[in-house]
Amino acid sequence: PGPFLSVRDLSVQFGTEDGVVHAVDRLSYDLEKGTTLGIVGESGSGKSVSTLTILGLHDPAVTTIGGEIWLEDRQLVGAPRATLEKLRGDRIAMIFQDPLTSLSPYHTVGRQISETYRKHKGASKREARDRAIEMLRRVGIPHAQTRVDDYPHQFSGGMRQRVMIAMALVCDPDLLIADEPTTALDVTVQAQILDLLKDLQQQFGTSIILITHDLGVVARTAHDVLVMYAGRAIEQGSVREVLREPRHPYTWGLLGSMPRLNSNVDLPLLPVRGTPPSLLNPPSGCPFHPRCDYRDLVPGDMCATDRPELSPAGGHRDACYLTLAQKREIFDGQIKER
């Protein structure tokens, strides 16, 4: 059997008043059962769009999708809306940064969790309520028995995110897509929620796609990582490989904002200079070249003219013309400097 989720050459374009946006450009990755893939990038890198497509949550009137998305033996690109709708909530669930966008303010959390369960599992009211209480307990909400009758606004931000997770997992989905699930929370609560997700993953065997701009979140939670820039994968591999020896200059920039693995010292923030590129009119050559400090090391003006492809399949891969020796030397130098 192949991987649980397999994305091949996924491209997503949509029409706007200003022209065609190339949101995702030939993206490929695999997700193994029960593991977490972190998709990292700045806003506008295509990291959210690439996963909304899995759920069919795009406007078909303006969107063109190319490539393949296999969920086990099922092809999701071009699948009927009804099929995707049935998969959502049952086999695939999603949590967002702000639970208030997904939770209704007018109903108790118990009612919302149990309705999801009844809709997909055909359970009785009684069973569904018991299941809601059990889920609230499993996500660590104290006094679940009584809190089940509270409304979303009666919970703190962190507790509300737990409610959201309870609702997402109530049908025991195979795949959970978490889009910036902890971005709005303070650091301590953030760590608690990430640990909870890891814990639940072990209990339920859920596969997770975690979308974030923060490599620190990936380091804490994910098994594999995919770094996106301008709609493309520019580096991917296991979290261990990519964080120990990142190879792409953009990944070095992202790393500047997180503490080094095996170290308790916070490194100074080294933001990537410049702004993310327009996806209406992506840069020629390497999409990162207008912001890259190392393009002079590459012969000719290749960085500006020719698109670097990801190195061949398997293991740790990146899309940059520097030699592996140059990448190692530059990154080691950066670590010493700090």
11 forms part of the interface with Mg ion (CB under 5 A): no
Q: Using alpha carbons, select from 331, 243, 231, 224 the residue that is nearest to residue 282.
A: 231
Q: Which of residues 221-250 bind ligand SF4 (CB under 6 A)?
A: 248-249
Q: How far is the CB of 292 from ligand SF4 (least distance, A)?
A: 3
Q: How far is the CB of 48 from ligand SF4 (least distance, A)?
A: 23
298 forms part of the interface with ligand SF4 (CB under 6 A): yes
Candidate residues 294, 310, 311, 330; the one interacting with ligand SF4 per rule CB under 6 A: 294
Instruction: With contacts defined by CB under 6 A, name the span among 85-93, 178-186, 251-259, 317-325 that binds ligand SF4.
Output: 317-325
Q: How far is the CB of 319 from ligand SF4 (least distance, A)?
A: 7
Interior angle at CA 271, CA 269 and CA 276, nearest 5 = 160
Q: From the list Mg ion, ligand SF4, none, pick the one residue 48 interacts with, judged by a Cβ distance below 5 to 8 Å according to partner type.
A: Mg ion
Q: How far is the CB of 211 from ligand SF4 (least distance, A)?
A: 22
Closer Cβ to ligand SF4, 24 or 320, answer by number: 320
Q: Which of residues 32-51 bind Mg ion (CB under 5 A)?
A: 48
Instruction: Return the structure tokens found at 174.
Output: 């195979």
Rounded CA-CA distance 53/57 in Å is 6
Candidate residues 29, 117, 252, 321; the one interacting with ligand SF4 per rule CB under 6 A: 321
Closer Cβ to ligand SF4, 136 or 320, answer by number: 320
23 forms part of the interface with ligand SF4 (CB under 6 A): no
Distance in Å from the first CA to the final CA of the chain: 45
Helices (H), the chain: 47-55, 81-87, 109-121, 125-138, 144-147, 157-169, 187-204, 215-221, 239-244, 249-255, 302-305, 324-337
Q: Are 211 and 177 in contact (CB under 8 A)?
A: yes
In the chain, count H helices and then E strands. Answer: 12, 11
List all residues 6 or more positions away from 147 whose beta carbon is below 8 Å from its beta carbon: 109, 136, 141, 155
Q: Contact positions toward ligand SF4, by CB under 6 A?
A: 248-249, 286, 288-289, 292, 294-295, 298, 303, 308, 320-322
Q: Contact positions toward Mg ion, by CB under 5 A?
A: 48
